[in-house]
Structures are given as structure tokens and as C-alpha cells.
Amino acid sequence: MGTSEEELFASVDALLDEGPQLPLPAERARLREAAGITQARLAAALKTSTQSVKNWENGRSEPKEPRLSAYQRLLNGWAAKHPTHGTPPTPATTAPPQPEAPHRPTAAAAHPPHTTENAHPEPDNEQPAPEPASTPSHSSGVRPTAAASRRPAHKPAIPHPAPPPYQHGPLAVLDADGTAYGVNGIALDCPATTIVELVEWTLKESGLGAPKLHRYGKDSDPLIVLTAAAAAKFGLPERLEDRRGLRLAEDHPVVKQVLKAKWELTQRGFGPWARIYRKTQGRDRQCVQLAILPWDALDSRSWPGVSEAEMKPADIARVLGIYAQRVITPRGSTAVSGLELMTALRPPTRPVRDEETGNWVSGHNAGSLGTEPVAPAPPEARPEHPVVVSSGWEGGFVNEEAYQWVRDVDLLTGQEAALPFAVGLDLNTAFLAAAARLMVGLSEPEHFVRPKFYPKVPGSWLVDLSHIELDPRLPSPFTPDSTRPAGPAWYQTHTVAYAQELGYNVEILEAYLRRETGAYLDPWHDRLKTAYVETLADLGVTKDLSDAEFLAAMEVHKQVDQAMAAVLAAIKGTVKGGIGKLFEGPQGKGYRDGEEWPAMKRSTWAPWIRNAVISKARVNMHRKLLNMAKMTGMFPLAVLSDCVVYPSPSQSPLDFLPYAESGKPIPGAFRLGPTPGLAKLEGVQDMAWAVDLMEQGYNPARHIKGDGHDAVLDDGE
């Protein structure tokens, strides 16, 4: 029975549906070399990795769409220009015939057979030129030309610079099909089928990582983010059963596989942020950071919208890649990354020459916190800290915390209550602004009795501020809840200096001061400020906007680009969490007072630095509140950390903020703008709503957003 035309066309269509077919791997390499293109250049053109091109040319893997079609098109073009040996080229690329050069004798007789000077090896597919009929004398010997010998001229190879060590960016998001999505739209082919293979591929072939942020620092380890499907492919469970420890059991097959291959895990084990490493040899680092998306590696509070349910892997890679380029390659939560950024920008050690041996050894890097933890002074520690428990300390503690204050309803005037709206203002990254040019202690504390107060010396001071009388319509600058001090208490330098600034005498009873000081957080502040301002600008909020334009841009900035909005939230989480990590407490039900806990063993466990940041931020807030009262006669209804609520005649802060006749904001009070320390609109509600909350003892600043969610206490924790 004959075959119909329809059947033939169906068969052909089936072949067409199979997609483009590539030549054999060896032919792919031949065509590329014939075109004079390096693997690195081809990888750049196809937006993939050099290793992927190598894999395609040795048969280890095949490209996927859309690179498959693009690669096929390129190979077809090269095949037309560079056919295999013996196949005539296409007419368009056939070289015109050249006139034959006059016959010249070879140099065989001119140079003895054993001479190798300036010799070139014969090409494998060439035959030596025939011997001439007569041999000229030695004096008349001439080196043959290319035409005479019929050998192709050997062109000197053009050197191509080696690709940079991290040519593919700091990280990649790996999906189950082996595609690793990196920064700038790049996609790599990862052939790994086990976690061990993944680690080795990442270190040897991926080209992932990031250069160090300081000359004495270390390069950032590459980060691989696993989607749920990729995690399942590698044998990881859908969720962690250990919800408290957040790690795989030590007898889990993946953990056993990693350890059997002589890799190690950090103390936090194989959890949402697993670090797999081998001990360094010399300057080499062998460490890969994994982030497991189905195990909630990316907290929705710090990374809003960055989940597989809302973003594709390539989009997640974009968000994390921008954060890595502007801040640091994520190494855990944004709090962990904030703390790691401090160390990356202020490495604890630097190379110094040993005077006796002349060798370079590791020495302390001035301005850093060093490698060993520094014990806090008793009033700077937590009640459960070994310093407190072992000494029996009962002298009280520094209580520098963020504001939580609501004005007494009885102090509201009828004029204020009659205003229609309550408007909330929020200071941009107030803790980051406070970290600017902030001098902090870097060495061991020393105890002093009745010292003179120096407002520029960082430390902890015991002083009685209970005699200071302030306007009850403003929060106290000395306590977080605005209660009046009842007697001597411990304060950080900025709090005591502000009492002096207000015109009150301060008499110090005791102090714990440090001889070595420095602006430890300066580079941290500068990098995060730049990241914050640049990311806001990407969302359409720039420094050149008028106040009215700024308010309009802020109203819609989160809708401009979901990815950039997530980066902005992560930057803010990095600031808050990083400061909070400086005073991280013990965790777990089994802890007992007086025992050491992991966080306090870090050199970056420095509660006195956290005290300095929060003290300065709270003083800055009070100074603005006081200036607002002096300039406008307005007093706040409530304050929650860096958010303040004012009664207002309209829904816009433009109607109550102080401006000069020129239209410029008056310095000293709240000012709108996109940089750290300036204000933005937090939310608007009816005045009756605010008064009702105040009467019930609730803080309107916590709820002013009006989006159905309580504001999270922005206390740096």
C-alpha cells in the first residue's frame, strides 16, 4: 500500500518539531577554531559560561533554547565559510586565484638536516616539498616563500586575555533542569546530580564568586540558590523536620555524602543557608554557600515577593545579584549579611613583617574589632552574660533602646483634637544615618570613678539625670518609654552629651571607657547608603525631585519594579538586622544563665557599638521633635523608633512641615527626601482613629500605615 502525501508531510513535520540538530562536538570545536573565535568570546555572545561552551564541544552537555537555535545558526554560518577539508567553499567565500610565484629552491641544502634553529613543524596534513633537481651552493641558498613551498603561512597566535576569575557574577539560582541563572541574564549549564558534584562544579567550572571589598579582606564565596525542584533532585526533603535547629539530621544521606567526600559543614549544619568547605591551603579558599528556597532561606519580611510562587528563577537571580553587587553576596539572613559586611569592610587582620625573621605574618588591622571577642563592661552586657553572673554585678545596665512612646491623651489640646488627620512620618534608615562618622570603642573597657565627662569620648557613663524637667508633650530623650529617670543610671555618650546640650549639668559617678576608638562603621555606612540611594533612584525616587514630586514618587515606587523594591527592602533589613546582631542573645530552651553562647564568641559581638547607634538615633529624633515644636508649635502624638505621628490639617506633611519663604525646608526639623535620615510619608489616618488608639493605650505609630498589618518595631533587632 502506497504512502500518502499527508503521511509524508506528517513525518517531516515530526522531524521539524525535534528542533535544530547540532553537528558532532568535535565539529563544533573545529568550526569555532576555524573562525578564530575563543570559547570565552563565544560564551559572551551566547550569554553563557566558558565552561558551558567547553561542555558542548566535548559532548558533556547540550545547549537549551533559546541558545540552541542561536548556536545552530552560528555553526551553520561558520560551516558555509569553513567547510571540511576537500569540500570546496561556497562561491561567496572562494578566494580569487593567485599568480604562481617563480620557482625557488628549498632551504634543505642551505641548512643541515639536524639544524632546528627557526624551524617550524610540518602540519600533519602536509607533505614535504619535493627535492630540487640540483642543489645550489651554500652561499646561494635562499629560504623558501610560502608560495614556493606550497605550505600555509604560520600566523602568530593572537593572545586572548584569560577570563576574570568571577566572570559570571557572584551567584546563580539553580533549577532542576540543570540551568543555573546568574546575573545580567546569563544562564549556565550545570551537569551536577549530587550536592558534592554541585560544590565541585561551582568551584572549578562555574566562574562564580565576587572579589573582596577590602584589600586585606577575602573574596566572597560563590552562592548557589536551589529551587524546590532542584533541591528535590539532589535528594533534599521538601521541608525541614527539625523546625528548631533548622538543619538536616547528621545521618541524612546528603550529609553523609558530603562528609564522605571530605567536605565539611559549619556548626549550623546543613540548613537553609549551608556552607560547605574544605580547610584552606595557603591563600586558596574552597567554600560554597547554598541557599535552599523551599526551606525559607529568603524571609518574606526582608525579601518581599522573592519566592518561587511569585518570581521565576531568573528574576530571583536578578534580585539577589543586584543585592550582591551593591551590598554583599548573601550569606544568610539580611541580619547575618549586615554583620558579615562589617567584617568584609573592616577585616580584622593585615599582613605585617616580622622584624626578627623578615617573614610576613598576620597582624591586627587598625580600626577593626580584631579576631578575638572583647568582653563588655558589666553594665553593657546582658543579665545572663558570664561577666555579670560571675561578678555578681547589681549596678544596673545601659538601656539604650528605640522609642516606644505615646503622649498622654489628657495633654491633647482642643485645637489638636479638632484637626482632621493624623499623619505619620518615617525617617529613612535612621540607624544607618546614626552610624555616619560615629566614633566607637574598639578595645577592652577600663573602669573610672568620677571622671570628667568628655562628649567626644565613646563609653558608658553612670550619671543622675532625674533632675531634668522637660515638656511632657515630648518624649524623654533619656529613656525609650519616656519615663523620667528615677536616679543614677547608665547611659551611652550621646545621651549624656545631649543632656549637656540642653543646658543641664552632668556629674559622672562612674564610667567604662576604651582607649582605642575609631569610626568602625564608616565604610559600612557609606556602602549601604550608596546602595539605598541608588536603589531608590532605580524606582524613580531621585534627589532632584521637589518635595511634592518626592511624595508622589514614593507613593508608587514599589509598583515600578517588584525586583528593585525587594532589593530596597533587603537593604533596609541589612541595616536593622546588622545593628541588632551586635547584641544577639542566647537561643534555645536548654540555655542557663552564666553559660557562653555562640554569638558572644564573635569579635563582632559588641553591644556598646549598638548602644552608640541607637543612642545617637534617638537623640537625633528628639532634636528634630524639639525643633519642630519651636518652629511650628506642633507636638507629636506618638513615636515608635523612627516613625512619628503628628496631628495635621490635611493628608499631606507639606501643610505642617516648616519651610522658609523661599520654599526651602528649614534645617533642624523633619525634612522630606530619599537619603538616610530624611523623612518620608509613612501613612495617614483620621485624627479620631489616633485618639481612640491613644485612649486604649495603643501606639498610633505602630498602625499608621493602615494596610491591615501592624508595623514591626524598628529597633534594630
Beta bridge partners of 224: 172, 290
The SS3 assignment for 688 reads: helix
Choose among 635, 715, 641, 716: nearest CA to 682: 641
If you write DSSP's letter for every residue of 546-569 in order, what string do you get? -HHHHHHHHHHHHHH-HHHHHHHH
- The arrangement of secondary structure in 23-84, i.e. its CATH architecture, is Orthogonal Bundle (1.10)
Q: What pLDDT score does 507 carry?
A: 95
Q: What pLDDT score does 586 carry?
A: 93
Angle between helices 195-204 and 253-260 (to 10 degrees): 50
Choose among 367, 364, 365, 388: nearest CA to 376: 388
Choose among 582, 579, 554: nearest CA to 568: 554
If you write DSSP's letter for every residue of 692-713 in order, what string do you get? HHHHTT--HHHHTT-SSSPPPP
Give 7's contacts (C-beta < 8 A, 6+ positions apart): none
**Contacts of 569-572 spanning 24+ positions with Cβ under 8 A:** 569/302, 569/303, 569/304, 570/302, 570/303, 570/319, 570/323, 570/327, 570/334, 571/323, 571/326, 571/327, 571/429, 571/528, 571/531, 571/532, 571/535, 572/429, 572/532
Q: From CA 624, how far away is CA 498, in angstroms rounded?
A: 13
Beta strands per DSSP E along 268-384: 273-281, 284-292, 349-353, 360-364
pTM: 0.79
Q: From CA 534, how far away is CA 550, in angstroms rounded?
A: 15
Q: What pLDDT score does 110 carry?
A: 35
Q: What pLDDT score does 163 carry?
A: 56
Tell me the one-letter amino acid at 451.
P
For the chain, give every domain's residue range.
Answer: 23-84, 171-332, 404-433+540-587+617-703
Using CA atoms, how far residue 202 sits from 20, 206, 221, 230, 474, in Å, is 29, 5, 10, 15, 56
Give 226's contacts (C-beta < 8 A, 6+ positions apart): 174, 234, 236, 290, 291, 292, 293
Q: What pLDDT score does 9 carry?
A: 62
pLDDT, one tens digit per residue, over 634-654 is 999 999 999 999 999 999 999
Beta bridge partners of 337: none
Q: What pLDDT score does 36 carry?
A: 85
If you write DSSP's letter for every residue of 383-431 in order, what string do you get? TTSHHHHHHT--S--------EEE--GGG--HHHHHSSEEEEEEETTHH
Q: From CA 525, how far away is CA 668, in angstroms rounded?
A: 22
Choose among 494, 507, 504, 509: nearest CA to 470: 504
Regions of the chain short of the pLDDT cut 70: 1-20, 85-164, 281-285, 706-717
Cis geometry, peptide bond prior to residue 222 (ω within 30 degrees of 0) = no
Q: From CA 674, how far away is CA 428, in angstroms rounded?
A: 7
The SS3 assignment for 599 reads: helix
Choose among 540, 549, 545, 544: nearest CA to 568: 540
Q: Where are the alpha helices (DSSP H) in 248-352?
A: 253-260, 313-326, 334-345
On the CB side of 261, how many CA atoms lie within 13 Å of its CA?
17
